[in-house]
Amino acid sequence: MGSGAFGEVKRCIHRDSGSERAVKMIKKSLLSEYQNKKIVEETNILRNLDHPNILKILEFFDDENFFYIVTEICKGGELFDEIVRRKKFSENCAVILMKQIFQCVNYCHKNQIVHRDLKPENIMLEENKDFSQIKIIDFGVSRHFEIDEILYDMQGSSYYIAPEVLDRKYNEKCDIWSCGVILYIILSGTPPFNGKSEYEIHNRIKEGSISFSDPCWSTISDNAKNLITKLLAYDSKHRLSAEEALNHPWITEMSDQ
């Protein structure tokens, strides 16, 4: 199904049930001791999470040469590829997608897990691509946190990283910022903080100024723009929680349509 620097993913069939699954084979010799440890940690986190929008680990085992991680199979590809194909989404499609993301993030935060790398590349679609059952993947930099704990190590991807993460002093609301960036992108087709280099992107993020001046925003509801503003609140203390985002009028009213 695919391959990367450390291994490959293959489609497999469960012998007893006949159901399709994916098995990620990771070659141990290509990993450092720290990376080996992180794979075990990520797997343990995922095995203890049970949510319809989180890719479920069904089995995990290893031998002398490989780790084998058996999961549900997603045939619709990454949300990122669908964004590239569509350019931008209608609000009706966007609310179906974002509601599931918020539900997943709310579940993780209630269980004191912060993802730290939410982005379209880590959101998988079902084969029919109707967004009815997305799956969030790649908990490789996720971690358990204590209530009111401050985190200091910088994790995340350039376009989606929160300003406080760049300052290395943050909490689980870094995930909410990433949700705001995702929503901005799927409605407009462009990132809110753009640049020609990582340095430039990070500087724009640190400025924290978002714009709805592009003509595409003239056809997007005020509720959607209000939610984005509250997700991308520069001070995380004023940023919505995932639970609050689920109760925002854009989610509740659009979901009823």
Please report, for the domain that includes residue 24, its CATH number: 3.30.200.20
For residues 178 and 217, state if they share a domain.
Answer: yes
Q: Work out how many domains the chain is built from and give that number.
A: 2
By annotation, the residues acting in catalysis are: 117
CATH of the domain at 84: 1.10.510.10
- Are the C-beta atoms of 224 and 232 separated by less than 8 Å? no
CA dihedral 239, 254, 114, 20 (to 10 degrees): -170
Same domain, yes or no: 56 and 153: no
User: What average pLDDT does range 164-177 have in this prediction?
Assistant: 97
Specify whether 100 is located in the same domain as 45: no
Sheet with 66-71: strands ordered across:
2-3, 7-13, 20-27, 66-71, 57-62
Could you list the residue range(s) of the whole structural domain that residue 66 is in? 2-71
Please indicate, yes or no, whether residues 67 and 93 belong to a single structural domain of this protein: no
Q: Tell which of 45, 71, 97 closes a domain.
A: 71
Does residue 2 surpass a pLDDT of 80?
no
Last residue of one domain, picked from the residues 71, 97, 118: 71
pLDDT for 29 beyond 90: no
| Boundary of a domain, candidates 71, 87, 121 | 71
Confidence of residue 5 (pLDDT cuts 50, 70, 90): low
Residues 64 and 89 in one domain: no
Q: Which residue has the higher pLDDT, 250 or 1?
A: 250
SS3 46: helix
Residues 220 and 128 in one domain: yes
State how far the Cα of 245 lies from the Cα of 254, in Å rounded to an integer.
Answer: 13
Flag whether pLDDT at 130 surpasses 80. Answer: no
> 246 with 159, same domain?
yes
Q: Does residue 135 sit in the same domain as residue 240? A: yes
Q: Report the phi/psi class of residue 116: left, alpha or beta, with left for phi > 0 and alpha for psi in -120 to 50.
A: left
pLDDT digits (tens, 9 = 90+) for 59-95: 898 898 899 989 888 877 888 988 889 888 999 999 9
